[in-house]
Amino acid sequence: MTNRMTHSSRHLTLLLAAALPLAGCVSFAAKPPPSLLTITTAAQIPADQTQSSATGTTITIQVPTVPQAIATLRVPVQTGGSIAYLKNAQWVEPPARLFARLTADTLTAQGRVVLTPAQSFSDPGARLSGELRNFGVDGSGSAGLVTFDAALIRTAQGPVEKRRFEARVPIDRIAPHEAGAAINQAANQVAGEVAAWVGK
């Protein structure tokens, strides 16, 4: 019995010793970049502003759907028919949520009472949804590119209006900081155009 236990202990020790060299070279999670990218709104929203659906015009914003290429925290660079991802560039949260929040802030700054789907049961108002088609870098044109196919229902029984919004902002160098700044500017331009369209 003692010999059998000693043999098992030795076997376990050998397995652990063999695994130790691998522990230093194998990683099961991607190494995060030095900093994460995000989107900041150009709209100005006062900190003490109070809004009410009883007195304001409401709109419900859905988080847009996205193609698989941007259903990730990574930043796509599209060149012709191929897509690569920018090295050391990563969003702090999925692009769809970043863009939905940016659009909400832009509409709020224009006086709309913006609701999430969870808040919209009693008074959804207008409804904005759509697909975020591009949110990355156009490698062929060296530009930050944002494309949003919007769908808007202005009233409860109203028709669906659809419109494509797109913005390109040139970049001198395809690198994380430059790409993030260009995409941020393009996203703000698209959000501003969407807000103007909704406000008609």
Is the pLDDT assigned to residue 71 strictly greater than 90? yes
The count of domains in the chain is 1
Quote the pLDDT of residue 9: 55
Judge whether 123 lies within some domain: yes
For residues 92-117, average pLDDT:
92
pLDDT band for 48, please (50, 70, 90 cuts): low
Is the pLDDT assigned to residue 17 strictly greater than 80? no
CATH classification of the domain holding 140: 3.40.50.10610
Close Cβ partners of 143 (under 8 Å, ≥ 6 residues apart): 137, 168, 169, 170, 171, 182, 186
Structure tokens at 3: 């010999």
Quote the pLDDT of residue 11: 52
Judge whether 28 lies within some domain: no
Quote the pLDDT of residue 115: 83
Is the pLDDT assigned to residue 200 strictly greater than 70? no
pLDDT digits (tens, 9 = 90+) for 154-197: 988 889 999 999 999 999 999 999 999 999 999 999 999 999 99
